[in-house]
Structure 1
Amino acid sequence: MQTFCLEVSGDFACFTRPEMKVERVSYDVITPSAARAVFEAILWKPAIRWQVRRIEVLKPIRWINLRRNEVGGVVPAGAVKSAMKHGKGQLSLYVEEERQQRAGLFLRDVRYRLHADFEMLDNNSANNPVKFAEMFKRRASKGQCFNQPYLGTREFSCDFRLVEDAENIEIPAELQGRRELGWMLYDMDFTDANNPMPRFFQASMDDGVIQVPAWDSEEVRG
């Protein structure tokens, strides 16, 4: 199975801890679900599913406190369904009435190398894994994407490049050794589409490298 490597970087990032209900607080590093989203932004097809295998942290972990304006409400799902059914409805949301100012603890000046491969979900003759692999490499090498990849939240967009040859990485002194990162969000389980559930794993970083377990392994718990 071919593994692909992307190097991503950005000025800011926020991989929000779900236990923080009001203020946004980021995990120390990018989560597997956020890393998966970067690959899907470059190539997404119903026939494949990306699996992140390894995350390499290339810069020391730095933090910044920011206060931002956010919208505190959303258009109710019931109103949307009613408008779809009747062809009309009240779907407006006035930003000035819903504006809230919230503080957040974010990451700054981040750079990662993300290693992932994909598995085939549909193995009919038209879905050739070699075709998808070449398609991904072509798009990633040209900087093409379906939507701009981002680091946790859409306002924190990131640059990316395809790493095809093994390149030596100098690990910052601050990242050397072992660091326990605690329980980290792995991804959402959409087995029940009406009630998606989060799944977590015990993350640790050795010399800046986080090994990501397989989705169906015992290390991943819901």
Structure 2
Amino acid sequence: MGFGIKLEVWGDYALFTRPEMKVERVSYDVITPSAARGLIEAIYWKPAIKWVIDKIHVYNKIQFTNIRRNEVSGKISKSNAKALMDGTGTVDFINTNELRQQRAALVLKDVRYIIEAHFEMTGRAGEEDTVEKHYNIALRRMRTGQCYHTPCFGCREFPANFKLIEEDIKPSYLGEQDLGFMLYDMDFSDTENIFPVFFRAKMINGVIDLKNIEKVG
């Protein structure tokens, strides 16, 4: 198993929003690498490590359903939030009663994946931060079901169940499917110029292999 992990995740609903849909939310066909990373970080994350998704195994048939969700039509501006953090602004809030809207969403249902991932040490690692230390802590938390906050499938109202897989992964289903361009992750290398990174997702025999993919900024 090395210093990688295999995590099975499943749930009733999932919503991995396509960024090109501006108003009504429409999910990608499968979990995105950034959503998979966020799910693992909900279980174990430290500034000293960075999780990298290697493979996504899709086990259940891809199924969609329509739901209606309550959302708000506004958001707190970046300048107001920064002023509050600096102590120079006034308290700002969103009145959900006044700004509530009902919007349709095309979501996934009955999802189950196995995520293969590993972590890399970052520049914020200290002398006491070793690969073995963080690996063993991550394994313990995944075995016992511990998490910092409830992992979710894209939205907090769609919680994810999880368990550590410590045996060989069974194959899901045969066939090849081109899922088109999908969000890989956000590039935070320049905090003044954060931008999305995409890749061409191809699922072969139920597996999306994310190693050596061509990324498009």
Instruction: Give the TM-score band, short-chain normalised.
Output: over 0.9
Partner of 1:77: 78
- Aligned with residue 216 of structure 2, among 198, 210, 221: 221
Partner of 1:210: 208
- Is 1:12 aligned to residue 13 of structure 2? yes
1:104-159 Cα deviation digits (max 9, x unpaired):
10000000000000111146531110111100000100000111110011111100
| In structure 1, C-alpha distance between the alignment counterparts of 2:80 and 2:186, rounded to whole Å | 26
| In structure 2, C-alpha distance between the alignment counterparts of 1:31 and 1:188, rounded to whole Å | 12
Instruction: Could you tell me which runs of 5 or more consecutive residues in structure 1 were left unpaired when the two chains were aligned.
Output: none
Aligned pair count? 215
Q: What SS does structure 2 have at the residue aligned with 1:50?
A: strand
CA shift, 1:88, in A, is 5.9
Q: What SS does structure 1 have at the residue aligned with 2:182?
A: strand
Q: State the TM-score, normalizing by the size of structure 2.
A: 0.93
Q: Is the contact made by 1:213 and 1:220 (CA closer than 8 Å) also made in structure 2? A: no
After the TM superposition, which of the residue ranges 142-151 and 67-76 deviates more from structure 2?
67-76
- Is 1:132 aligned to residue 134 of structure 2? yes
Which letter maps to 1:157?
P
Q: What SS does structure 2 have at the residue aligned with 1:49?
A: strand
Which letter maps to 2:206?
G
Q: What SS does structure 2 have at the residue aligned with 1:139?
A: helix
Q: Is the contact made by 1:53 and 1:212 (CA closer than 8 Å) also made in structure 2? A: yes
| In structure 1, C-alpha distance between the alignment counterparts of 2:85 and 2:209, rounded to whole Å | 45
| In structure 2, C-alpha distance between the alignment counterparts of 1:208 and 1:179, rounded to whole Å | 9
Alignment of 1:1-222 (within 5 A): 2-86=3-87, 89-122=90-123, 124-169=126-171, 171-172=172-173, 176-213=174-211, 219-222=214-217
Q: Is the contact made by 2:36 and 2:53 (CA closer than 8 Å) also made in structure 1? A: yes
Q: Is the contact made by 2:9 and 2:160 (CA closer than 8 Å) also made in structure 1? A: yes
Q: State the TM-score, normalizing by the size of structure 1.
A: 0.91
Instruction: Could you tell me which runs of 5 or more consecutive residues in structure 2 were left unpaired when the two chains were aligned.
Output: none
Q: Is the contact made by 2:80 and 2:89 (CA closer than 8 Å) also made in structure 1? A: no
| In structure 2, C-alpha distance between the alignment counterparts of 1:90 and 1:115, rounded to whole Å | 43
Distance verdict in 2 for CA 1:208–1:84, change over 3 Å: closer
CA RMSD between the two structures: 1.6
Distance verdict in 2 for CA 1:135–1:102, change over 3 Å: same
Q: What SS does structure 2 have at the residue aligned with 1:40?
A: helix
Q: Is the contact made by 2:181 and 2:199 (CA closer than 8 Å) also made in structure 1? A: yes
Distance verdict in 2 for CA 1:98–1:131, change over 3 Å: same
Q: Is the contact made by 2:33 and 2:185 (CA closer than 8 Å) also made in structure 1? A: yes
